[in-house]
Amino acid sequence: MKKDKEIEMVAGMQTEIEALRFTIGTIAEIIWMEMPLRYQDEWLEKIMERGLWKPDPELVEGQKDGDVLGKSLKEIE
């Protein structure tokens, strides 16, 4: 029984690693192909929706009205 849980956990970790590799590969392609910034913005928005990253409030502090990708800081927090 314990072995089954370990196998399930490892499989879940492998799935997450593959998802992260895809995510990194996506931004790498966007940068490498020098695509318009809107593609980077879309990628970043998806990353924030997944909870993988959110801007440091100190970095955003100097931005006009705290706007990040069309969202207010309150929506991000």
pLDDT tens series, the chain, 77 aa: 688 888 888 888 999 999 999 999 999 999 999 999 999 999 999 999 999 998 888 777 766 554 555 555 456 55
Full-model pTM? 0.63
State the pLDDT at residue 65: 55
State the pLDDT at residue 8: 87
Q: How far is CA 23 from CA 17, 20, 30, 45, 65, in A?
A: 10, 5, 11, 12, 29
User: Which range of residues forms the domain containing residue 24?
Assistant: 2-76
State the pLDDT at residue 55: 84
Domain count of the chain? 1
State the pLDDT at residue 58: 78
